[in-house]
Structure 1
Amino acid sequence: MNLLANIKSAKKRIKVIEKKNAINRKRKSEIKTYINKFDSAIENNDLDTAKELLRLIEKKMDRAAAKGTLKKNAVSRKISRLSKTLNKAN
């Protein structure tokens, strides 16, 4: 932990920000993992798994948008693109 701040409240804020960054990184990483699984399911023509994964991805991304990890419009754009990919595969 690299604290450059001298004021006590600023040091506390740095700790809080580091915790939030870790949580946001974890959320984004989890979403990316599910997207990769979705892509591989599409490639293998496993549409049932892809539908389940899409539902899960949508839930996780909406949660991330609600918590401020991702922007709402970016989430809706990505979900739209994934849905389009699934529909093309059908």
Structure 2
Amino acid sequence: MANIKSQKKRNKQNEANRLRNRVVRGSTRTAVAKARTAVVEKQENSEELVLKAIIALDKAAQKGIIHKNNAARKKSHLMKKLAASKQG
């Protein structure tokens, strides 16, 4: 446990930020997982789910919850899978 006043405050801030970020990260993961399964199973609404996942990734990257390159990589993989499922 911290003894310094500023460190106690920083610990409280870190915990609050962790809980806030956790919600966004979890919903982003869910959106990506739903989009992935929709593309693999070739569902009708797969494009819509991919777009929702991309929006969620962009928002998470914009808020600094995930790195922008991480978001870009995941978006790229999703779009590749979507394009491949449309061709084949």
Residue identity opposite 2:7 in structure 1: A
Q: Residue deviations 1:28-54, cap 9 Å, x none?
A: 1111111221122123211x4211111
**Which residue of structure 2 aligns with residue 42 of structure 1?**
39
**Which residue of structure 1 aligns with residue 66 of structure 2?**
70
Paired with 2:53 and 2:40, the residues of 1 have a C-alpha distance of 17
Q: Pairwise CA RMSD of aligned residues? A: 1.2
**Which residue of structure 1 aligns with residue 76 of structure 2?**
80
Identify unmatched segments of 5+ residues in structure 1.
Answer: none
Dislocated runs of 4+, deviation >3 Å: none
**Sequence identity percentage:** 35
The structure with higher relative contact order (CA 8 Å, sep 6+) is 2
Identify unmatched segments of 5+ residues in structure 2.
Answer: none
With normalisation by structure 1, the TM-score equals 0.86
* Residue-pair matches, total: 86
